[in-house]
Amino acid sequence: MNIIEFFYRWREKHKTSGIPKQIKQLSEKPIIGLVVTTFDKGGLEQVVLNLYSGYKSKGYKVYMMCQENVLGVMAMQIEPDEMLVFDSKLDTFLDYLYDKNINVLHYHYNVFACREAKARGVHIMYTMHNVYTWKSDSEIKEYSKLLSEMGKLVPVSNFVKNYYLARTFTKQDNIKVIYNGIDFKELSCDMLPEYIGRSALGLQADDVVLGFVASFYPVKYQIGMIGVMEELIKQYPKTKLLFIGNSENDYYKEFVREYNMSTAKENMQVVPYFEHKYMGAFLRKIIDIFTLPTLQEGCSNAVLEAVFCDKPLVLTNVGNAMDINHLKSCEVVHTAYDDVIKTSNEQMVRLSLFKDSGNKRELVEAFKKVINQLEKYKKAAILPEEEKKQYETAYMIEQYVNIIEEVTRQ
């Protein structure tokens, strides 16, 4: 085929009399494309992977569409013929929609060609996974114009929704909160490799073990917990803190610098990377108190996993912490800053480098409270199975399926 033939075939495929050719629903169920920027490893990828598997379990044909060729271990769980890396190329993206007859796009931290797809009859939905502190007022308001064109906008917590509304003054007509779902079956696995067992980690039977599950990033603020531990071990020397999360970035280097100089160094350690399938067993067998004292969250999978595994929690008042703060096993403290609406990403990055945080005293007191009544908190953390179901992937999928049915009727 020469270039002229290619051009005419492309024009025929994509346009009719200047109007984009429409993608029609040819199958009984809509065909879904999940659109991401990269697909390496982390909380976002886990949510998208759960959606991919969940949609398929409901009988939908699903494709993963990745803007950049940055793929990791989680991408290996996608069927090869259901993965596209389109390298920011509009033609490649649109051709794939036509070739696979995709008529629903579910975007995550990405809006590539959403208007072009919508012009071709594709139904669009967008999941908002976090608060957008990195966007200026003008940027987020401009972004909201694009998001308002979506068939449905889905914040992952009320915290995320309220932040978005406060900064954009957008109407709530097309907004619905859906919490992330977690895989109960995977978390129920009780197998734990020896290299992350209590003995290998040097933990004693009478140690009180805190678990901080989060990748090392400024907004996760692991450095702040160094300052908390330095105070806490003065009264509770048997307290140990484990950091569990990806450490392949520059913030980890800043963390190590503070960690190596800390008086609490012997009471802290970074756990070697392990597959997520061991997380449930690790939480149940190793961790006494789960903590996520971060600067910023959307809807933390790790928090939900700790709830499922019956762990007491100490959290900051971000993300889904404010949706579960009614639990008697949960202590929620203020963040290290005053107001997320008025705090920029640059300010959070600066805060993340200091071990003496604005909420250090409050965090220390919260940990003391839980440690002093640990058995009471552990008992309160055991929730009825019926109450836990709202955190399951299956429940999340049902809600998204309802949205797909709604937007495809529009």
pTM assigned to the model: 0.84
Domain check: are 47 and 141 in the same one?
Answer: yes
Domain check: are 163 and 255 in the same one?
Answer: no
In angstroms, rounded to a whole number, what is the distance separating the alpha carbons of residues 210 and 368?
12
Domain check: are 39 and 62 in the same one?
Answer: yes
Residue 227: pLDDT band (50, 70, 90) is: very high
Domain check: are 79 and 121 in the same one?
Answer: yes
In angstroms, rounded to a whole number, what is the distance separating the alpha carbons of residues 237 and 229?
10
pLDDT at residue 212 in the model:
98
Query: Residue 51 belongs to a domain with what CATH number?
Result: 3.40.50.2000
Range of the domain at 231: 184-390
- The answer to whether 210 and 240 have CB atoms below 8 angstroms apart is yes
Domain check: are 196 and 156 in the same one?
Answer: no
pLDDT in tens, 17-58: 566 778 766 667 899 999 999 998 777 898 999 999 999 999
Asked if the structure places residue 1 within a domain, the reply is: no
- The answer to whether 229 and 268 have CB atoms below 8 angstroms apart is yes
Q: Residues, the chain, total? A: 410
User: What's the total number of domains in the chain?
Assistant: 2
Domain check: are 337 and 204 in the same one?
Answer: yes
Tokens of 180: 């992330």
pLDDT at residue 42 in the model:
76
Asked if the structure places residue 3 within a domain, the reply is: no
Domain check: are 121 and 100 in the same one?
Answer: yes
Domain check: are 176 and 193 in the same one?
Answer: no
Domain check: are 386 and 399 in the same one?
Answer: no
pLDDT in tens, 316-361: 999 989 888 788 999 999 999 999 999 999 999 999 999 999 999 9
| DSSP class per residue in 323-343 | HHTTSTTEEEE--SSS-GGG-
pLDDT in tens, 63-85: 999 999 999 888 889 999 999 99
Query: Is pLDDT of 260 > 80?
Result: yes
Domain check: are 379 and 398 in the same one?
Answer: no
